[in-house]
Structure 1
Amino acid sequence: MPQTADISVLIVSYKSVDTLAGCLAALTAQSLAPREIIVLENGSPDGQRVRAADMPEGVRLVESDENLGFAGGNNYLATLAKGAWFALLNPDAYPHPDWIEQLDRARTIYPAASMFGSTQFVANQLDTLDGTGDCYHALGLAYRSGYGRPARSLPEGEVFAACGAALFIKRDVYEALGGFDERFFCYNEDVDLGYRARLQGYQVIQLASAAVDHVGYGSSGRRSEFATYHGVRNRLWVFLKNTPGWLFWLLLPGHVLVTGLLWLSSLRFGQGRVFARALGDGLAGRRDIFLTRAEVQKARRVPPSAIARMMNWNPIDLLTRRAKVRLLSRQKP
Structure 2
Amino acid sequence: MTERSTSRQITSRGVRVGVAIVNWNSQDMLDRALEALARQTRTPHRVVVVDNASKHFRAAPVAPANTVYERLSFNSGFAQGNNIAVKLLGECDWIALVNPDAFLAPDWIERMLEAAATEVDYAFFAGKTLIEADPSLLDGAGDIYHISGITWRRGYRQPDVNAAERIEVFGPCAATAMYAKDAFEAVGGFDEDFFCYVEDVDLAFRLRLAGYRCLFVPDAVALHVGSGTTGGQHSPFSVYHGHRNLVWAYVKNMPGGWFWLFLPLHLAMNVAACALFVLRGQARTIARAKRDALRGLPLMWRKRVSVQRGRVVRATDLLRVMNMALLPFARMTPAAPASKNKHDE
Whole-angstrom distance in 2 between the partners of 1:244 and 1:329: 25
Whole-angstrom distance in 1 between the partners of 2:58 and 2:14: 26
Residues paired across the two proteins, number: 326
TM-score (ref. length: structure 2): 0.91
Q: What is aligned with 1:224?
A: 235
Whole-angstrom distance in 1 between the partners of 2:60 and 2:283: 43
Whole-angstrom distance in 1 between the partners of 2:85 and 2:327: 39
Query: By how many angstroms is 1:241 displaced?
Result: 0.6
TM-aligned CA distance change 1:179 to 1:52, over 3 Å? same
Aligned pairs for 1:184-263 within 5 A: 184-221=194-231, 222-263=233-274
Residue pair 1:115, 1:168 contacting (<8 A) in 2 also: yes
User: Unaligned regions of 5+ residues in structure 2, if any?
Assistant: 1-12
Query: By how many angstroms is 1:149 displaced?
Result: 0.9
Q: What is aligned with 2:117?
A: 108
Residue pair 1:4, 1:34 contacting (<8 A) in 2 also: no
Query: By how many angstroms is 1:40 displaced?
Result: 1.1
Q: What is aligned with 1:161?
A: 171
1:327 to 315, 337, 342: 337
Whole-angstrom distance in 2 between the partners of 1:293 and 1:227: 24
Matched, 1:56 2:66: no
User: Unaligned regions of 5+ residues in structure 1, if any?
Assistant: none
Q: Secondary structure at the match of 1:119?
A: strand
Percent identity, aligned pairs only, is 37
Residue pair 2:30, 2:60 contacting (<8 A) in 1 also: no
Residue pair 2:33, 2:102 contacting (<8 A) in 1 also: yes
TM-score (ref. length: structure 1): 0.94
Residue pair 1:113, 1:205 contacting (<8 A) in 2 also: yes
Residue pair 1:4, 1:32 contacting (<8 A) in 2 also: no
Whole-angstrom distance in 2 between the partners of 1:179 and 1:115: 13
Whole-angstrom distance in 1 between the partners of 2:72 and 2:334: 38
Residue pair 1:5, 1:32 contacting (<8 A) in 2 also: no
Matched, 1:42 2:52: yes
Residue pair 2:167, 2:334 contacting (<8 A) in 1 also: no
Q: What is aligned with 2:192?
A: 182
Whole-angstrom distance in 2 between the partners of 1:53 and 1:308: 44
TM-aligned CA distance change 1:310 to 1:105, over 3 Å? same
Residue pair 2:320, 2:335 contacting (<8 A) in 1 also: no
Matched, 1:287 2:295: no
Query: By how many angstroms is 1:10 displaced?
Result: 0.6
Whole-angstrom distance in 2 between the partners of 1:293 and 1:114: 23
Residue pair 2:35, 2:62 contacting (<8 A) in 1 also: no
